[in-house]
Structure 1
Amino acid sequence: MYVCLCRGITDQDIKDAVENGASSYRELREQLDLGTCCGRCAPEARAVLNDALSETAARLGYAA
């Protein structure tokens, strides 16, 4: 699913960024140039980021 239409960023792009070490919205912006055009994607991008971080923590055995 596309999260950022301006930059063509998908939820999978965000999940991949988390797998590659992104752990904050700021890091997503730096890695993907996310939310730098109109900003409408920010709430959904944060939700996808939080879900991906929770999934990663659960997979590694950390309490979220």
Structure 2
Amino acid sequence: MYVCVCNSVTDKDIHRAVMRGVRTFKELKHETEVATCCGKCAGCAKQVLKEAIHQHAREEHAVPSFGGLAAA
């Protein structure tokens, strides 16, 4: 979904930025140029950023699966 129409920034772009280490809205604006034109997308961009950070944190702290094999 497009978050910033002015600069063609999608939710996937924001998720990729988080994967590269972006953690603040200021960093996101610098990395993607989201909300740097008219600014109407700022609220949505901040929400997507928050969700992406939470999702990334959950994925980093997930216990790895070993194919269902029990430890000996």
**TM score, norm. by length of structure 1:** 0.91
CA RMSD of aligned residues (A): 1.2
Unaligned runs of 5+ in 2: 63-72
How many residues align? The count is 62
Partner in structure 2 of residue 29 of structure 1: 29
Unaligned runs of 5+ in 1: none
Matches within 5 A, 1:1-64: 1-61=1-61
Runs of at least 4 residues off by over 3 Å: none
1:33 to partner: Cα distance:
1.0
Quote the sequence identity (%). Answer: 40
**TM score, norm. by length of structure 2:** 0.82
Q: What do the CA deviations read for 1:11-64 (whole angstroms, capped 9, x no partner)?
A: 0000000001100100001111111100001000001000000001111228xx
1:8 to partner: Cα distance:
0.6
Bigger radius of gyration: 2
